[in-house]
Structure 1
Amino acid sequence: ARVALAEGVPRKRLKMPILAPHATDQMVARLKDKASIRLTLDANLQRSLEVLARDRALALGPDISIGILAVDNATGDILARVGSPDYFDERRAGQVDMTRAVRSPGSTLKPFIYGLAIEDGFVHPESLIDDRPIRYGSYAPENFDMTFQGTVSVRKALQFSLNVPAIALLDRVGAPRLASRIKQAGAALVLPKDEAPGLAMGLGGVGITLSDLVQLYAGLARQGNTVALRDLMDDASEREQMRLLDPIAAWHIGNILIGAPPPENAVGNRIAFKTGTSYGYRDAWSVGFDGRMTIGVWVGRPDGTPVTGMLGRTTAAPILFDAFARSGKVLMPLPAAPRGALVAQNARLPTPLRRFRPLGELVRTSDERALRIQFPLNGSRLDLGADGRSDLSPIAVKVAGGVPPMRILVNGLAAGDIDARRQKLVDAPGPGFTRVTVMDAAGALDTVVVRLQ
């Protein structure tokens, strides 16, 4: 009683304690009749990242908002969701949850372009690719600094976020296929009404939320499979895994991104991350992962007004690295290379993989025939023989056209060269879906997917 009497009387109303207001609002609106709601949020991490967002926003200016989302790679559980620096700050539109707002992703979709190109056998991280002026009809992509680097490795092109190589690969992979794969992985891309996916989506010409982007990057950490994010502890519904990339391609992308140049005063080679800046400096992004957790950061004005000089690398990336540092957890290494991953220098790669050739360089003269796999047929089923586990029958691969020598890839792994009779027996990898690719000396290729049983 004496202690209570000695304590001073407050002269103003104290601020009510509040934690994760955006996540709380959403759940209360969704589960109105539930007496108790348990979220997957880690209270300590949530509190730490809210302080981080508030401090950085104060330094960046009164109109800037910040969104931060952290998820567990293994489970997809949301560990922290910071929708804005201050829920009650009207000038920052604090009640708008920027982790769920649709924004332009800048360059943050590039890893998935490269992943599909690696999966399809177009390139390897050590393949050479040109960064030089090129035009696609009326569209002529340029690098952010308006310079060109010449011939670089695919690894360097992604680490330094060069625009021209990314668009060349997207042209080869196909923008509709990239959009379809992202949708298959559980993320939603927003395009203007009646507009089809185009090359500009590789540089941010599409809309996506921070939540979906973090789900995609967590899929890279999960060796190519995504899982829907979960924020409700009592949600026991089964969540199926969704395919983003094959495990080898996902590992290669993680291995490239962990070598990206870190922000100033940060330690490199510890977090696999990518940054992005949307057109007109409206959005600054940085998304990264280690072996345990994926964190995404968005910075900008909620009303979409440009902020001159606001870059993902200098604005969002330092927040990302600080978020990992404040997590209170030791960074976990990324998974080891999956079986069959090709790790080699450029000189030891199969000839067609040593240098990427854009579609425009693959035009043939009239007396040449385009490369085509005649057997097996795409979508066919092949009997392995025996019991499907031992004494497997080899797969006969036959081709027409093409320029010798021609290399066969089975699920992205070199499986020998086509012989003078334009055929080759290759070992069957086992039951399931198998991708067979043939690449010729000119860089052209054909791919079929068959089911072995």
Structure 2
Amino acid sequence: MVRNQLSKELGESVVGRGGLTIKTTLDWRIQEKLETEMKAFFATGRPDAVRISNGAATIEDTQTGQIVALVGSRDFNHAGYGQDNAAVSYIQPGSTIKSLVFAQLFDKHDNKQAYGSGTVLSDDNIDSLYGAKLRNWDGKFMGGINIRKALSFSRNIPAVKAAYIIGNGSAKPVVEGIRNMGNTNYCRQEENAGGYGLGASIGACGTKQTELVNAYGTLARMGVQKDSSSVIEVKNSQGETLKKWKDDGKRVIDPQSAYIVNDILSDRTTGLHGWMGVNGARTSAKTGTSDKGSQPKDLWIVNYSPALVMGIWLGNSDTSVIGTSASNYAMPVVRSVMSFAHTQVYAKEGKWKSGQWYDRPNGVQTVDGELYPSWWNKKQSQSSEKITFDKVSKKKATNCTPDGAKEELEVTKIIDPLTKKESIKAPDGYDANAEDDTHKCEDVKPQIGAVSVSNSGKKYTISVDVSAGTWEVAAIEITVDGKSIKSSEINTGGKQTATVEISSAGTHTVSVTVRDRAYYTATSNSSFTSSSSD
């Protein structure tokens, strides 16, 4: 890899003459750890069990773009393809490309709606726009989900919509944006062979791992692209410096956009594969899978922090399909190597410290727990209204929903920027597109029997029998003259009692209310007379 880079930059004749002193960017401690963990992973037999025979990984220093470790195969000495460098081969990256698409969508575009992590891009059928059948990995649609969930759960349709919006229906602008971020040759083979389509936004083109890692480095550098490098300095036999690394960079993505993507990918509890983090270091992560004939072929992970970016690929050199679609399969390698590199190397050299994260750019807005750039306006393509829900089914209330089960909540109505369809975003756990199917108009309410009152001196005991209707009883309240003397949860019918002390003579009102688990209620009112002689 180093020779190829120098041959391009210095010329084959210079490199061929020899006598060069070359200082590379590799950190031998991280390189050795990467080689050891990759070999150990394949030695477990887990890859063989799912027909995976090879892998490659690249680790880049975030701040410089320098490659600090790289393995092009599972083992350099492995028979057949050990000396082939898959890290610079063209392989489809699957859903790892989506992060680079949404980073561009979050950027400011003239005369276009602004987007943030909470913006809804509905996951629905867009075959007519896409020009072919487009589905998610599970064959399902999730409906009106926001971008955070779309990226965390790796949905294809919102990513394609994002690319469509960026390019007004053309894939070229989003691909150029991906290339500008450092994935320089993404879709280059397809372009030379006749072209590419919107499938490029979900990883349908070939990429080089080193370039994909560099593009994620742009996210980690908060939108500043720096070319990846494997060489720091080259001198000839006379001691003359022929090449010296220079720290150059250019801004290609707004820092607010990069920050929002980094935040989404750092979620530790949501996503397709649960926690994708590294012990001891806060990182962001994205997985990807490419297919061949509807069967998984390549598995990807990119895991990164303000200090380091690591990309890893698993698959077969002959491009044959594999036996799993679990794109987090290589996390044992990622977790071990990235933890070591952060805590044992970079921390000791002052290049990283525990808890380190990105500085939040000025202008980033937090609205209902989601992040939006400064140019986003809440009124864009959405409005709010209140809907009455059933608190049991968490669906819209009907005329069969009892009053006690009704609650009024604010929902957001969104117009999809492409399909122009209206969708409703309700609070988490609530479904504004379905009606209460828990309550039935023929349901029987709980029953209250006769109320009796007995006394011993000034102490009066209220007794009442309650029974369940369609649903089990759940709570009872007994009041005397408007004052509660018993309010408790119950789980069975039968006799309920409460005692109150009354000092003066007179007539008193007793009210008994019982509620069941579906929030049906029944109330019974009665009265009794107390005597001063008591």
Of 346, 364, 368, which aligns to 1:341? 364
Q: Within 1, Cα distance between the matches of 2:23 and 2:57?
A: 20
The aligned residue for residue 284 of structure 2 is 272
The equivalences for 1:256-405 within 5 A come to: 256-259=264-267, 261=271, 267=277, 270-280=282-292, 281-313=296-328, 315-327=329-341, 328=344, 329=346, 333-345=356-368, 350-352=378-380, 354=382, 355=414, 357-361=416-420
Contact 1:71–1:295 at 8 Å: present in 2 too? Answer: yes
The aligned residue for residue 134 of structure 1 is 126
The aligned residue for residue 226 of structure 1 is 225
Contact 1:123–1:356 at 8 Å: present in 2 too? Answer: no
Gap change, CA 1:237 and 1:51, over 3 Å in 2:
closer
How far did residue 294 of structure 1 move?
Answer: 0.7
Contact 1:124–1:353 at 8 Å: present in 2 too? Answer: no
How far did residue 283 of structure 1 move?
Answer: 1.2
How far did residue 233 of structure 1 move?
Answer: 2.1
2:320 is paired with a residue of what secondary structure? coil
Letter in 1 for 2:307: R
Q: Within 1, Cα distance between the matches of 2:174 and 2:276?
A: 32
How far did residue 353 of structure 1 move?
Answer: 5.9
Q: Within 2, Cα distance between the matches of 1:147 and 1:41?
A: 44
The equivalences for 1:88-127 within 5 A come to: 88-91=77-80, 93-119=81-107, 120=109, 121-127=113-119
How far did residue 24 of structure 1 move?
Answer: 7.6
Q: Within 2, Cα distance between the matches of 1:332 and 1:197?
A: 41
Question: Which has a greater percent of strand?
Answer: 2
1:152 is paired with a residue of what secondary structure? coil
Contact 1:276–1:311 at 8 Å: present in 2 too? Answer: no
Q: Within 2, Cα distance between the matches of 1:130 and 1:231?
A: 42
The aligned residue for residue 196 of structure 2 is 197
Gap change, CA 1:233 and 1:356, over 3 Å in 2:
farther
Contact 2:23–2:231 at 8 Å: present in 1 too? Answer: yes
The aligned residue for residue 259 of structure 2 is 251
Quote the sequence identity (%): 23
Contact 1:66–1:98 at 8 Å: present in 2 too? Answer: yes
How far did residue 144 of structure 1 move?
Answer: 0.6
1:75 aligns with 2:64: yes
The aligned residue for residue 215 of structure 2 is 216
Letter in 1 for 2:248: E
Instruction: Give TM-score scaled by structure 1 length.
Output: 0.69
How far did residue 25 of structure 1 move?
Answer: 8.7
How far did residue 114 of structure 1 move?
Answer: 1.0
1:51 aligns with 2:36: yes
The equivalences for 1:230-245 within 5 A come to: 230-234=229-233, 235-238=243-246, 240-245=248-253
1:99 is paired with a residue of what secondary structure? helix
Instruction: Give CA-to-partner distance per residue, 1:289-327, whole Å, 9 cap, x none.
Output: 1111111111111121111214322x1344322321232
Contact 2:27–2:68 at 8 Å: present in 1 too? Answer: yes
Q: Within 2, Cα distance between the matches of 1:145 and 1:319?
A: 27
Gap change, CA 1:262 and 1:141, over 3 Å in 2:
closer
The aligned residue for residue 188 of structure 1 is 185
Contact 2:224–2:253 at 8 Å: present in 1 too? Answer: yes
Task: Identify the structure with bigger relative contact order (alpha carbons < 8 Å, sequence gap 6+).
Answer: 1
2:59 is paired with a residue of what secondary structure? strand
Q: Within 2, Cα distance between the matches of 1:262 and 1:361?
A: 28
The equivalences for 1:430-449 within 5 A come to: none
1:70 is paired with a residue of what secondary structure? strand
The aligned residue for residue 25 of structure 2 is 40
Instruction: Give CA-to-partner distance per residue, 1:336-393, whole Å, 9 cap, x none.
Output: 211111222289951116546232329xxxxxxxxxxxxxxxxxxxxxxxxxxxxxxx
The aligned residue for residue 161 of structure 2 is 168
How far did residue 137 of structure 1 move?
Answer: 5.1
Q: Within 2, Cα distance between the matches of 1:183 and 1:266?
A: 26
Gap change, CA 1:282 and 1:50, over 3 Å in 2:
same
Contact 2:27–2:69 at 8 Å: present in 1 too? Answer: yes
Q: Within 2, Cα distance between the matches of 1:154 and 1:202?
A: 15
**What residue ranges of structure 1 are gaps of 5+ in the alignment?**
1-21, 363-453
Equivalenced residues, count:
340
Contact 2:153–2:272 at 8 Å: present in 1 too? Answer: no
Letter in 2 for 1:316: A
More displaced stretch, 336-345 vs 289-298: 336-345
The aligned residue for residue 425 of structure 1 is none
More displaced stretch, 211-220 vs 243-252: 243-252
The equivalences for 1:13-32 within 5 A come to: 31-32=15-16
Contact 1:126–1:154 at 8 Å: present in 2 too? Answer: yes
1:207 aligns with 2:206: yes
Instruction: Give TM-score scaled by structure 2 length.
Output: 0.59
Q: Within 2, Cα distance between the matches of 1:336 and 1:216?
A: 19
Contact 2:220–2:262 at 8 Å: present in 1 too? Answer: yes
Contact 1:179–1:197 at 8 Å: present in 2 too? Answer: no
Contact 2:282–2:305 at 8 Å: present in 1 too? Answer: yes
Q: Within 2, Cα distance between the matches of 1:72 and 1:333?
A: 15
Q: Within 1, Cα distance between the matches of 2:326 and 2:30?
A: 25
Q: Within 2, Cα distance between the matches of 1:165 and 1:262?
A: 15
How far did residue 206 of structure 1 move?
Answer: 0.6
Q: Within 1, Cα distance between the matches of 2:42 and 2:3?
A: 22
Q: Within 1, Cα distance between the matches of 2:331 and 2:75?
A: 21
Q: Within 2, Cα distance between the matches of 1:287 and 1:265?
A: 14
Contact 1:285–1:317 at 8 Å: present in 2 too? Answer: no
Instruction: Give CA-to-partner distance per residue, 1:163-183, whole Å, 9 cap, x none.
Output: 111111111112211111122
Rg bigger for which structure? Answer: 2
Contact 2:266–2:277 at 8 Å: present in 1 too? Answer: no
How far did residue 57 of structure 1 move?
Answer: 2.2
How far did residue 55 of structure 1 move?
Answer: 1.3
